[in-house]
Amino acid sequence: MLNIFNQDHDLAIPMGIPHVFRFRPPNENTLSELKENYIWFSDRDSLNDELDSNPEFVKLSTNPEEVKLLYNTIAENILDPQVKAYYDENMTEEKLQEFAATKIKPFVSSFGIACFTMYPMNEDLWKIYSRNDKGVCLHFDSSADPTFFHNILPVHYVSEIKEREYSAISQPNHIIDLFYKKTEKWAYEKELRLLKERTGRVKYKPSSLLNVLVGYNAEPSFVGDVVNAVKENYDSVKVFQVTEPVSIGKLSYRPLYIPK
C-alpha cells in the first residue's frame, strides 16, 4: 500500500503546479471522456451553486461615455442602409441599455466551465463528485498540454458575491472575473477553473493525463471498465485504487494497472 506523501518511489503521485486533479462520477459519461480523451465543459446553469457565475450580478455600465462607445460600435457594424437609418432614428440610450442587458445572460451562458482541484486528498470531493468514493479522480500534468490548460486559474472565495458593473466595449474581458469568485462555504474545494469559449466536448492531449485514481467504494465492473479504457487508449497512464476512506492529510492507494 502506497501513501501519497511518500514521493520516494516510481509510483508516486506528484502534487503542486503544474499538477491538477478532476473528480468524476461512476457513469458512462466518465468512461466516454476517458476513452476519447476529452473533458465536458458545462454552462453555468449546470453548476451546483446558484450564485456561481450568476449573470444577475452583472449590470451594464451607465457611464455616458461607455454608452456612447456601445452605441457607436453597434452602428459601425450595421451594413444595411435601411437598418442603419432605423437604428439612428429610433435607438435611444435607454433602449440601447435595455437591449444590451438582454444579451448578458446568453453571453455568460455561452462559456464552457470545467472544474479541477489542487489536491486529491479531499474527503468531501471524493464524497460529492465521485459519488461516495465510487468514481474516479483524474490526475493531469497541465504543462503537457499548455493550449488546453491555458489560463486555468484558482477560484477566489469571498464573503459575498457583489454586483459588478460591466463595460462591454472598453473592458470586454472584465466579465470573466465573474467565473472565478465563489462564496467562502465552497472554500474546501480549493478549486481551479478552466474556461472555454464554448460548451461541450474539448479534447486534451492524451500525454497530459498521468494517473487515474479509482475510489475505494467503486463497483468491480466500473473498475474493470476504467482499466480497459486506459489500456486501450493511453500509452503511459497508470491506474490506482484508493484503499481506504480519504481523510485530511491522508490518501493511500495500490496499483491496478501499470503500463510496460
- What DSSP line would sit under the chain, residue for residue? -EETT--SSTT----STTEEEEEE-SSHHHHHHHHTTEEEEB-GGGSS-TTTT-GGGEEE---HHHHHHHHHHHHHT---HHHHHHHHHH--HHHHHHHHHTTHHHHHHTSEEEEEES-S--HHHHHHHTTTTTSEEEEEEGGG-TTTTTT-EEPEEESS---EEE-TTTSGGGGGGGGGEEEGGGGGG-EEEEEESS-EEEE--GGGEEEEEEPTT--HHHHHHHHHHHHHH-SS-EEEEE-S--BTTB-EEEEEE---
pLDDT tens per residue across all 260 residues of the chain: 899 998 999 999 999 999 999 999 999 999 999 999 999 999 999 988 998 998 888 777 777 777 777 667 767 777 778 777 866 777 777 777 777 777 778 888 889 999 999 999 999 999 999 999 999 999 999 999 999 999 999 999 999 998 877 776 666 666 788 899 999 999 999 999 999 999 999 999 999 999 999 999 999 999 999 999 999 999 999 999 999 999 877 899 999 999 98
